[in-house]
Amino acid sequence: MKKEEDKLLLIQIAKGNKDAFNTLFRKYYQQLVRFALGYTHSGENAEELVQDIMVKLWEQAPALKIEVSLLAYLYTSVRNRALNQIKHEKVIKRYAEQRIAEEKQNQQVDENPVNLSYFRQQLLLALEKLPSRCREIFELAKFEGLSYDEIAQHLGLSAKTVENQMGVALKKLREAMMPVVQTIYES
């Protein structure tokens, strides 16, 4: 019986009947808010979430084809919206944590500019120690922003040779810079 009543209410809502919508709203609002509260842990957020679902129901009622009971549809909508909200909040939190970490890192660099200039100086020395072709390929890729294909075409080499030379350059630079990085972070 309840399912049939809900179907009739939904039909009336689809026709724009505000009284039918108000009846449905009053009928399920509190239990949906309690359900949403289990996900949001905030009364205000739970109420806002359920209100959004109800507004969506009102707006989309003419196009809705509900295969299950209306109550099951509403519960599923609330759960999905709550889970999406939780996922969104996690993304925001992760982004905020990344920003804080970046700010701390930038602050450390700002607080100790000698370390940065020392690092740059050591990097230039390490670059000078690379074989000339290897250094040229590295500089074209990293300083000029050319792709491996563009470098290969520019130097008359195969793209695979360019890739191999970049691998050699990165390995040698990593090896040369590791002691420098350790002394910077130890100081």
Token digits of residue 187:
């100081």
Give the pTM: 0.53
Please, is 60 exposed, middle or buried when counting C-beta atoms within 10 Å of its C-beta (0-12, 13-18, 19+)?
exposed
pLDDT in tens, 66-98: 888 889 999 999 999 999 988 988 888 888 888
pLDDT in tens, 123-172: 888 888 888 888 889 888 888 888 999 999 988 989 899 999 999 999 99
The mean pLDDT of 99-105, rounded to a whole number, is: 81
CATH number for the domain formed by residue range(s) 112-186: 1.10.10.10
Tokens 């740059």, residue located: 120
Domain ranges of the chain: 2-102, 112-186
Q: Decide: 46 and 37 in contact? Cβ < 8 Å.
A: yes
- Domain 2-102, second-level architecture: Orthogonal Bundle (1.10)
